[in-house]
Structure 1
Amino acid sequence: MTAALTTTTAPATHSALVYDDPDQYAREVGGFLRDGLACGHRALVIAPSDRIARLRAHLGAEADPVTFVDDSIGYAPQWNCYRVLLDFAAKAPGVRCCVVAEQRLATRVPAEVLDYRRLEAAINLVFAAHPVDLLCPYDGAGLADDLLEIGLRNHGVLLEDGDPCANDHFHDPLVSLTALAAVVPPPAGAATLDCRQPADVAAARGLVRSSGVAAGLDPDTVDDVSLAVTEVLTNALVHGAPPARLHLYDAGPTWVCHVHDGGRGPMDPLAGLLPPVEPADHGYGLWLARQLCTAVDVGADRTGTHVRLHARTTR
C-alpha cells in the first residue's frame, strides 16, 4: 500500500473503500492505519462496533495508539462526525491525522440519506485545508446500489487492493451540493404560524413543543428541535425578509419543522457546516441545528429561503 502523506501541509485526501467481506475490510483499513501510524500520524476510527472489534483483532498491539469511536456516538446525529474529527485534530495541532469513518448507513431513513450525501460532498471542501487523510469504507455486499453510489460520487480516490486509484465517477462537490439544495414545499395540510417579530418566537416554540409531543417525539427530542427552531427562526427574522413562517408536518419517518422567509439572496452551500468561532458568527444557528436534528435541508427558490429541520419519529 502506498504510504500516507507525511507532511501537514500536503492536501487533504478523501478516499472510499468498497469492500466485499469483513476480511477485506480488516486488511484494507488495517493497512491504511498502519501506513499512517508509521508516518507519525494520529489515527481515529469512527465505525460500527463489529467493525471496531474486527480492526482491533487484526491490528493487535498496533491498535493501542488508535482512537476508536462507535458510530452510535460519532454519527449521532450524522453531522456530529465533523465535530468528533475537529476535536480529535485539535488535541495535537499540526500533526496529520488518518481517519476512518463509517456508519450503519442502511439503517438511515430517506431524509438522513439525503443529508449524508451533503455531508460526503461537503467534506471535500470544508476539510480541504486540514492535515487529514480520510477513508470512508462502504459495505459492497450489504448496501443497496443507491447507497454505494454515494461513495462513488463523492470521493476523488478509490482504495483498491491496497492502492489508491483515481475515481472516474467523482462529481464536483459544489455541483452536488447545489443539486441537493432543491426546495421541497410544505404540504397543504401543514400547521402554519406567521412570525413577524422576535416576540413571536416564543409562540413558535410553544407550538413546536405541543405538536412535537402529539407527533410522538420523546421529551429530549422535543427540547432539541425546539432549540433548533428558535435559532433558525430568529435568524430568519434578523437576516431574512418578513414574514417568517413556521410549517409543521409529517414527512414519512420524520416530523418536519419548516422555516420559510422571503429572503432570496444567494445561498452558501457550506453555511453552518463547521462550528463558528463565536456563537454570534454567521452560520451558528444552522450548525447548532445540525447537531440537534436528524437532518437539515437548506435551500432557496423564488419564494424565499427554506430550512427544514427533521426529527426522526418512533411511530
Structure 2
Amino acid sequence: MSTGQPTVQGPFDHRMAVFGTDDGFLAAALPFLAEGLAARDEPPPVAVAAPGNLDLLRDALGGDARHVTCIPHTDWYTGSAANAVAQAAGHLAGHAGPGGRIHLLMEPDWSGRAGRSARETTEWIRYEALANLLFAPAATTALCAYDTRTAGPAVVAAARRAHPDTDAYTDPLRLVAELDVPPLPPPPADARPLAEPRVDAVQAWAAGRGLPADRAELFATAVGETAAALAPLTGPALLWGEPPACVCELRSARRVEDPLAGFVPPPATGLEPGQGLWYARQVCAYVDIRDDAGGATVRLQYA
C-alpha cells in the first residue's frame, strides 16, 4: 500500500497545530479563525476547545468573539471515537455552508476519555486517520489543536501521521492497518456460547450479569445488528465480562475488509435498528474487527 499520497483526495482540509503555551494556542487559533471569518459563503467558524482556551480566545478576539461559535470540548467529545464521527457529521449537516464549507477548530479532550488509556488513544488516532476518508468530499477546513501539556509526545507523534499538512503523514489505510496489527486476546475459558445470537438471548444474559435493563437492550441490539451485517456466521457467539464491560465475539465466514465499516453515517438522523455496524459502533465502547483467511472475527465491548 502506498505511503506517499493519501488514499482519497478531496476538498477536506485537515490541519494540525501543536503548542505548549497559552500564547502558542492563540498563535495557531487566531489566524485560523480569522481565515474562517473572512471566507465567503461560510457560516461563522466554530471553536471546540478546553474551557480555559475558549476564555483566552474570547479575550483575544474582543468584539469579534460574537462571530465565533465556542463549544467546550467536554460538551463535544462525550463518547467514543465513533460518536465523534456522528457529532461532526451531524454538525456539518446542520450548520455548514454549501458543500460543507465551515472552519472548525478542534481540540481533543485529553483529560477525558481520549486520554484515559492507550486503548482510547489508539481509537482517537483511528478517528483522525479515517476522517481524511470520511470527510474527503466536504469543503470543510479543520484545525486539530494538540496541547503538549495534556497530550504527550507519543500522542502528538501518532497524530502527526494522521494529518496531511505534516511531513509524517501516512496513508490512512496503512495507519489503520497498523493499529489493528496486535492480535485480540483470546476469549476466557468460561465464555458463554450462544448457538444463535438472538437479541432476546443476549439481552437476558447481559441483564442476568447485572447490566441495567435499558443498557442490556442496547448491547443486545448492537449484537443483533452486527450479526445481521456479518451473516453467515460460523460457530457460536461468545459472551463474557462483568457489567458494564460486557463482551460478545462473533465469527463470520466473510471478511469485512472495509476499514470504514460502521463509520459512515447512515441517511437516518437518529440511532435506530437497521443500521448494522454503525449502530454497534455508536452503542459500544469498542468494536474490534480482525480479518483472516477464513473470514472475520468481530468483538463488541459495551463499555
TM-score (norm 2): 0.82
- What's 1:188 paired with? 188
Give the alignment partner of residue 295 of structure 1, picking from 279, 286, 291. 286
User: Aligned-pair distance for 1:89?
Assistant: 2.2
Deviates more, 1:266-275 or 1:81-90: 81-90
Contact in 2 for aligned 1:225/1:293 (Cα 8 Å)? yes
Secondary structure of the 2:241 match is strand
Contact in 1 for aligned 2:248/2:300 (Cα 8 Å)? yes
Give the alignment partner of residue 151 of structure 1, picking from 127, 144, 159. 159
Contact in 2 for aligned 1:79/1:291 (Cα 8 Å)? yes
Q: Deviations over 1:152-187 (max 9, x none)?
A: 111111xxxxxxxxx221111011122223441433
- What's 1:164 paired with? none
| Distance across 1 between alignment mates of 2:150 and 2:255 | 42
| Distance across 2 between alignment mates of 1:275 and 1:298 | 18
- What's 1:270 paired with? 260
Q: Deviations over 1:58-101 (max 9, x none)?
A: 22222223223332332221323322322222234415111111
2:299 equivalent to 1:308: yes
Secondary structure of the 2:234 match is coil
2:65 equivalent to 1:63: yes
- What's 2:107 paired with? 102
Q: Which amino acid aligns with 2:65?
A: A
Give the alignment partner of residue 90 of structure 2, picking from 87, 105, 109. 87
User: Aligned-pair distance for 1:141?
Assistant: 3.1
User: Aligned-pair distance for 1:22?
Assistant: 1.6
Q: Which amino acid aligns with 2:47?
A: V
Which is richer in strand?
Answer: 1
2:206 equivalent to 1:203: no
Contact in 1 for aligned 2:227/2:233 (Cα 8 Å)? no
Q: Deviations over 1:216-269 (max 9, x none)?
A: xx7765554343233223433xx233334133236xx98252322132325100
- What's 1:176 paired with? 175
- What's 1:248 paired with? 240
Secondary structure of the 1:269 match is coil
CA spacing shift, 1:50–1:307, aligned 2, 3 Å? farther
- What's 1:4 paired with? none
**Residue pairs, 1:105-184, within 5 angstroms:** 105-106=110-111, 107-157=115-165, 167-182=166-181, 183-184=183-184
Q: Which amino acid aligns with 1:97?
A: I
| Distance across 2 between alignment mates of 1:138 and 1:210 | 43
Q: Which amino acid aligns with 1:171?
A: T
**Residue pairs, 1:14-53, within 5 angstroms:** 14-40=14-40, 41-42=42-43, 43-53=45-55
Alignment coverage as a number of residue pairs: 285
Contact in 2 for aligned 1:209/1:226 (Cα 8 Å)? no
Q: Percent identity?
A: 28
Contact in 1 for aligned 2:188/2:240 (Cα 8 Å)? no
User: Aligned-pair distance for 1:212?
Assistant: 5.2
User: Aligned-pair distance for 1:105?
Assistant: 2.2
Contact in 1 for aligned 2:77/2:109 (Cα 8 Å)? no
Deviates more, 1:26-35 or 1:254-263: 254-263
| Distance across 1 between alignment mates of 2:229 and 2:121 | 26
- What's 1:162 paired with? none
Q: Which amino acid aligns with 2:24?
A: Q
Contact in 1 for aligned 2:246/2:302 (Cα 8 Å)? yes
**Aligned Cα RMSD in Å?**
3.0
Q: Which amino acid aligns with 2:110?
A: L
User: Aligned-pair distance for 1:50?
Assistant: 2.1
- Listed as ranges, the gaps of 5+ residues in structure 1 are 1-9, 158-166
User: Aligned-pair distance for 1:304?
Assistant: 3.4
CA spacing shift, 1:300–1:212, aligned 2, 3 Å? farther
| Distance across 1 between alignment mates of 2:130 and 2:173 | 8
